[in-house]
Structure 1
Amino acid sequence: MTNLKNTAALKVLIAGGYGHIGSNIARHLRKKHPEINLILGGRHPEKGHQFAAEIGRTECIFLDVNKPFDSDSAGSPDLIIAALQDHKNMLFDAAVENNISYISITRTADEVAPMIFKALQKQPLSKLVLTDHWQAGVLTIVAKQVAEQFQQINTIETACVYDELDPIGPMIAAQMDSFVTRALIRNEKNWIFVDATEYPRDFYLANGTAARGYPMGTLDVPSLASLTDASNVRFDIVIGQSIGTNQGKNASHDLYIDIEGILVSGKPAKMRTIVSDPAGQSHLTALGVLISVEGIFGLSGQLPPSNGGIYLPETLLNATNAVKTLKEFGVTITQTEI
């Protein structure tokens, strides 16, 4: 539990807060930091009233990202979490103009440039965190921790396994067709955009079955390349049975992180790390947002940044503390040499 003196006055606006991912974010925040005030925004606030009453210290407001943002009408939040599609960047622009901290989760690598340019030019005092990585940065944070075992990394191949039995909300459903289109990858230190359907990758899942993945332009690719200077980096999406389904349980959401290079000991190695959330992808995405909220406000052992501007999960967070929070919520992380 956090320090009530420091956090009882904090207000967090979750745009799309009573949707599939937004409600998971709200539940995680309420469980971990019950004193924070939550505001759920959307075009139909009446749909969130029952949920708001259930979790407490929560109000619902009308919010339309196609209309001008008024901070007072939105409850004067300290942080805006964009858990919905905001193609006009209305929430990001409002955060910059009003010095409100901000978290995004829906952008691909070629969609963040307008946000970065605006932040660099405006130099806001608030913290603007682009968690548009897969699962809001969870994959990159775990990979960052694993990478510390290596003195040199040549290749990082990452993937998610999307299980069709894992329920998704309308926001993700609307994005599914765009997941396998143009993708950014790093190949022999060259940055290239590829037609995902022409660059498949075959590998084996945890149960030994063969899988085929297709690249997707998430922010994990430039993040991991910058962190490690690996010559080859890609992120692939696979549609198949998850670890949970294979075990006769609810569908899990599984992340695969394969890193090849030279260990600190001097031994060449290829290590596989599997991150699995038995509660599914929306639960895991919300956990990624939770740890970034903790990073912004300096909660759960995280140190808050002293300056405003653009941050990424790996520049904001202490990976050890972040992984600890993931495990507290039931996420398993296993590692083997392959």
Structure 2
Amino acid sequence: MNDDLTFDPRGPVLLVGGYGTVGAELARLAAPHWPLLLAGRTVERGQRLAQETGARLVRWDLGDPKPFREAVRAVVTVVNDPDDRVLRAAVRGQVPYVDVARWTARMQRAATVAALLRPTAPVLLSSAWMGGVASLSAAALAEDLGGADTVEVAIRWDLKDRAGADSVEFMDRFGLDFEVVQGGRRHTIMPLSDTRTVRIGAVPTKVTRFDTPEQFTLPLTLGTTTATTRIGFSSASSTSALLVAKRLGFFRWGRGERFTPARRALLYAPGEGGTAQLRVDVSHRGRTLTATVTDPAGQAHLTALGGLLALQRVLGADGAPAPTGVVFPEQTPIPTKVAEQFATYGVTMDTTSARAADEALHTAGRAA
């Protein structure tokens, strides 16, 4: 297998998985700025989107050994690339590369593969939560504070929202322990542990630990001594059911393929659309700032926005020079512009002190 991506500064942007749930949102966001080439396994699925965006369609099945050859200005991977096939082709062809679809272990491997290949074009691994949105938010708060000793991310998963299969595969790892940095030391922890209730926007939400890439990268990039991500559902009963399943050991004894349908039924029941929300708390030298990021267009749109901002970054189209080598989203050279970048696409980033946010939570609790 010898895929051949070559760099053409006047060519299209290649979206691998470009007509899936997130890929379609990214295509719509990117179409006004660049010509697009949408790649996937089943070209017929992309016909309507191609007509809407003016994109060209091409078949690239990452499980098919048939070589793929195109000249492009950049590539964004919006689906799992289990054998690093797209990454290797992009680095060999000196094509700027973005990935928004990897869970932590695969992102770690991708960073290693890319480093060994010594890329001359940017490689932005932007699969932190929602295409790097959580990391960008942390970088913006860290800039205001002058640093980031601790970063805590709390996610509210709206059960009414649309979700792609890759999003659920990302979450379908609740049976696997993972490593985090707490208090400057590395610890292995269990998923669905350390549960607490936090206020995310206007709603108190029960959230619990799970594995995300920013917990690995933030200590390396921002010097964070504690990095924590928790997730909870918009329905408290659904979060409670997840925790009960964990206590019963379901995610341990039910890991294999035989139980995949049962696990997916617990995690994957996409609706017609909802609101994506997350809260980021950053502390430095005794001060804490909190940001609540809200996208009324939902998590697919928010992830696509992360992908769009990453694409702008590797092309140097965001007002700053393009990076070199392997980078992560929180390494943005323009963290002061993050809220403005979000707002351009209908996403709000409301910043306050942690004390104000927590006082609001206590007030809501007393009122209830």
Distance in 1 (alpha carbons) for counterparts of 2:321 and 2:222: 23
Q: 1:65 aligns with which of 38, 62, 66?
A: 62
Deviation at 1:316, TM superposition (A): 4.6
Q: Which amino acid aligns with 2:345?
A: F
Identity of aligned residues (%): 24
Q: Is the 8 A contact 2:139 2:331 kept in 1?
A: no
Structure holding more helix per residue:
2
Corresponding residue number in structure 2 for 1:28: 29
Normalised TM-score (structure 1): 0.84
1:104 aligns with 2:104: no
- String of CA shifts for 1:101-160, please: whole Å, max 9, x gaps: 211112222222332222222212222110010111111112111112324644321111
User: Secondary structure at the residue paired with 1:178?
Assistant: coil
1:216 aligns with 2:216: no
Distance in 1 (alpha carbons) for counterparts of 2:172 and 2:165: 12
Q: 1:314 aligns with which of 325, 330, 342?
A: 330
Q: Which amino acid aligns with 2:276?
A: H
1:333 aligns with 2:331: no
- String of CA shifts for 1:245-290, please: whole Å, max 9, x gaps: xxxxx6211110112333xxxxx43322101111010101111111
Q: Which amino acid aligns with 1:295?
A: R
Deviation at 1:187, TM superposition (A): 1.4
Pair 1:201–1:189, CA change in 2 (3 A): farther
Pair 1:8–1:47, CA change in 2 (3 A): same
Q: Is the 8 A contact 1:301 1:321 kept in 2?
A: no
User: Secondary structure at the residue paired with 2:88?
Assistant: helix
Pair 1:152–1:92, CA change in 2 (3 A): closer
Deviation at 1:70, TM superposition (A): 3.8
1:292 aligns with 2:310: yes
Pair 1:208–1:132, CA change in 2 (3 A): closer
Corresponding residue number in structure 2 for 1:3: none
Q: Is the 8 A contact 1:181 1:216 kept in 2?
A: no
Structure holding more strand per residue:
1
Distance in 2 (alpha carbons) for counterparts of 1:147 and 1:50: 42
C-alpha RMSD of matched pairs (Å)? 2.3
Write the mapping of 1:1-338 to structure 2, written as runs, cut at 5 A.
9-31=10-32, 33=33, 36-56=34-54, 58-68=55-65, 70-72=67-69, 75-151=70-146, 153-178=148-173, 181-207=176-202, 209=204, 211-240=205-234, 251-262=274-285, 268-305=286-323, 307=324, 309-337=325-353, 338=355
Q: Which amino acid aligns with 1:288?
A: G
User: Secondary structure at the residue paired with 1:143?
Assistant: helix
Pair 1:280–1:227, CA change in 2 (3 A): same
Distance in 2 (alpha carbons) for counterparts of 1:195 and 1:213: 14
Q: Is the 8 A contact 1:109 1:184 kept in 2?
A: no
- String of CA shifts for 1:155-175, please: whole Å, max 9, x gaps: 321111101001112222343
Moved more, 160-169 or 117-126: 117-126
- String of CA shifts for 1:302-328, please: whole Å, max 9, x gaps: 3223x3x21211235522334322111
User: Secondary structure at the residue paired with 1:291?
Assistant: helix
- Structure 2: state its 5+ residue gaps: 1-7, 237-272, 356-368
- Structure 1: state its 5+ residue gaps: 1-6, 243-249, 263-267
Aligned length: 311
Pair 1:316–1:272, CA change in 2 (3 A): closer
Normalised TM-score (structure 2): 0.78
